[in-house]
Structure 1
């Protein structure tokens, strides 16, 4: 069920610190994605439905530059992302291979993706910042994802930063994560 514009506007006024406390009081303890911090200070609060992506450890026969053109690729997943979604990417906390760089972030921005949230890292920092796509991540690394990860699926349940995220879960991100 999609949130109303009023509900989204209300959520944008509530900090994630407050939301985690409210959810804790309702019995939901594990709701804060660990390691996903704002890429740059001052990013706006973003609220939107999760569009999930999942990586697994690299397998050399699958994680190749040729895989970028596969029907199961990050590029294909980005083309399936609806406007206003929050891309939530399970990168298993890997910090030595960037899941997305400036080209893919620019494409997400052009498609109207609201934000990128991952427990992994991005690459091409200057270019990603130039896209103005709000990003929450663990940091930056120069090598591409295929150096340490294999992309396997989108719009399936994932584990990101120790939290179970299902497609269309409502994601709220701010300066606290």
Structure 2
């Protein structure tokens, strides 16, 4: 767990698109295509990760986490299977009431209509109607793997309709500065200027590869 105030460290991240962060961080910090918003249109959410590991068929620790995660956190779940739901409508409602920003789960939920109606952001692999059991105790806030990305407690998680990006806590200042600089540059560039630069770059690549046409 990071030593500084994580909620404060997460301020401003919801203003940055995941596309910009992906350009800055590269593929390794972007969760795979299977981790997607389960309802649309979903708002962009951002917050420090509260990490949970659930073994196959069990969801005990996610249910424990909703009572322990601080407001503003994104609960990130490593799941052991795609056969049982990690959470349903009541779990999402309690998490929302306690100020949790979102769930990002390498697994499934249920009661999607309820979750959609309450407007609680869930990024996961899908839905299934059968719940998991509640037996396996695991430590909270340890390193987990979600969507192919390693996530540690306190890492900044940014999620929107484009996908989910994880900013390592130790790199937060560097990444924020680079993302803001990129956004400012793009905002100040007209489409005409972008098109000229783009065509010059593409044409050079084509010439270098021997393309004629």
Greater RCO (CA < 8 Å, at least 6 residues apart)? 1
Where on the TM-score scale, by shorter chain, does this alignment land: which range? 0.7 to 0.9
Structure 1 residue 120: Cα displacement: 0.8
What is the match of residue 144 of structure 1? Answer: 131
Structure 1 residue 101: Cα displacement: 0.3
Q: How is 1:25-36 mapped onto 2 (pairs within 5 angstroms)?
A: 29-34=27-32, 35-36=34-35
Secondary structure of the residue aligned to 1:88 is: strand
Q: Which has the higher helix share?
A: 2
Structure 1 residue 137: Cα displacement: 0.8
What is the match of residue 66 of structure 2? Answer: 78
After superposition, give the CA deviation of every residue in 1:124-156 in whole Å (9 maximum; x if it has no partner).
111222332111111100111229x95623211
8 Å CA contact retained: 1:54, 1:151: no
Larger radius of gyration: 2
C-alpha spacing 1:131/1:6, structure 2 compared with 1 (3 Å): same
Do structure 1's residue 50 and structure 2's residue 13 form an aligned pair?
A: no
After superposition, give the CA deviation of every residue in 1:19-73 in whole Å (9 maximum; x if it has no partner).
111112xxxx411122210111111111100001101224xxxx5xxx95xxxx4
Where in structure 2 are there 5+ consecutive unaligned residues? Answer: 164-213
TM-score norm. by structure 2 comes to 0.67
Do structure 1's residue 133 and structure 2's residue 120 form an aligned pair?
A: yes
Distance of 2:79 and 2:7 partners within structure 1: 31
Do structure 1's residue 101 and structure 2's residue 88 form an aligned pair?
A: yes
8 Å CA contact retained: 2:10, 2:156: no
Distance of 1:166 and 1:159 partners within structure 2: 9
After superposition, give the CA deviation of every residue in 1:72-121 in whole Å (9 maximum; x if it has no partner).
x43322111100000111114x3221101011111101100001111111
8 Å CA contact retained: 1:53, 1:89: yes
C-alpha spacing 1:7/1:120, structure 2 compared with 1 (3 Å): closer
What is the match of residue 176 of structure 1? Answer: 162
Alignment: residue pair count: 159
Backbone CA RMSD of aligned residues: 2.4
C-alpha spacing 1:81/1:7, structure 2 compared with 1 (3 Å): closer
What is the match of residue 25 of structure 2? Answer: 23
